[in-house]
Amino acid sequence: MLAVLGLLGGLGWLLVIYPDTEGPPAAETEEVVVEIPEGTTLRKLATQLEERGVIRDARVWSLYMRMRGLDRFLRQGKVRFPIPMTPETAARHATTRLGRIQVRLLIPEGFTRFEIAERLEEYGVCSAAGFLEATEDRSLLASYGVEANDAEGYLFPDTYEFDDQTKPRRVVERMLANWVRKYEEIQQKHARELAGLKGWTTQDIITLASIVEKEAAVPSERARIAGVFWNRLRSKRFLPYKRLQADPTVQYGCVAVPEAASSCESYDGRITRAMLDDPENPYNTYRHSGLPPGPISNPGKAAIVATIAPEQHNFYYFVAQGEGRHHFSATLRQHNIAIRANAEP
């Protein structure tokens, strides 16, 4: 009788109390990524989770999983375990039997839609291909007031929470709705500055802001870099007239439309002289005047505001001088001196 009572008590603890007990505290990281290949046994996974600090005891957790019949439904591929977490939460992340799991991920400012697609697939939110297809749904874009061929520039950078295996269209809708809210806030706060941009559409503003976002590694330089680009677009002093000459636009062209330019065939993330000289790349602002065909990244609120209200100055050039900062010059002669001064030895 005592043995039976003890067994029942143990099972009660295992199935009622244990699932909600506190897991190991977070140490050096707040998330553990575990690769679960096809055919992985529960014992092997439990051991790995204990070693990585996700669960306290592999044997107890394994018994809990078996008692609930979850050992035959382990997820496959990369699985993310935010820590600390309870044994029940660990089970939910490890198995497909308990429904969807919530995924929290950051979309950084300046990410392109292609980079966002990769991150969404990596985190198990949706497929990269499905997401990119949804970003090109013109009817979906129009429903959020976006008059463009794709959603580049309008996928607002932020921290999002999605269920795993969310429909790609739903992911794009969340990001577009976030952009609409944030841009309305900007419009209300900077109505006077926007009124002064006669002839400029929202697409134009977001396109220039996307370039500012890619060029400004240091937040304090956003408005100054925006001012440089406005000077290049407006002043006849800068030659070739109205050419932004921004490296990130060339790079984006090699990612978005690589088939358009032969110089992009060997693109590996680095820019070559042939790419800068290639007029076939429609995004090459060294060879084409004015703005590129569309945004080249998804700018955050600060970059958009910097574009609408840029710093007023007489700078037309800037060159990297280390740690993300730039040296700004008013003349080509000063710029060339700065290039030599900041060149790597």
Give me the residues paired with residue 319 across strands.
Answer: 327
Tell whether 302 and 333 lie within a shared domain.
Answer: yes
Same domain for 95 and 108, yes or no, is no
Segments forming the whole domain that contains residue 320: 197-342
Residues 285 and 165 grouped into a single domain: no
Whole-model pTM: value is 0.86
The whole-angstrom separation of Cα 328 and Cα 241 is 19
Q: Which residues, 6+ apart, have CB-to-CB distance to 46 below 8 Å?
A: 55, 58, 59, 61, 62, 65
Q: Domain for residue 2, yes or no?
A: no
Q: Which pLDDT score, from 0 to 100, does residue 344 have? A: 57
Domain shared by 318 and 181, yes or no? no
Output the CA angle 311-239-214, nearest 5 degrees: 45
User: Does residue 229 lie within any of the structural domains?
Assistant: yes
Q: What is the pLDDT of residue 101?
A: 86
Q: How far is CA 2 from CA 6, 9, 16, 18, in A?
A: 6, 10, 20, 22
Render pLDDT for 104-133 as a digit per residue (tens, 0 to 9): 899 999 999 999 999 999 888 999 999 999
**DSSP letter for each residue of 1-60:** -HHHHHHHHHHHIIIIIGGGS--PPP-S-SEEEEEE-TT--HHHHHHHHHHTTS-S-HHH
Q: Tens digits of per-residue pLDDT, 3-36?
A: 666 666 667 788 889 999 998 887 777 889 899 9
| 202 and 295 assigned to the same domain | yes
DSSP at 74: B
Verify that 19 and 138 share a domain, yes or no.
no
174 and 202, same domain (yes or no): no
Q: Point out the residues of the chain with pLDDT beneath 70.
A: 1-10, 344-345
How many angstroms separate the CA atoms of 273 and 166, rounded? 42
Instruction: Please report the pLDDT score of residue 306 as a whole number.
Output: 98
pLDDT at 91: 93
Q: Which of 163, 188, 213 is the last residue of a domain?
A: 188
φ, ψ (nearest 5 deg) of residue 322:
105, 150
The count of structural domains within the chain is 3
Same domain, 243 and 317: yes
Same domain, 65 and 183: no
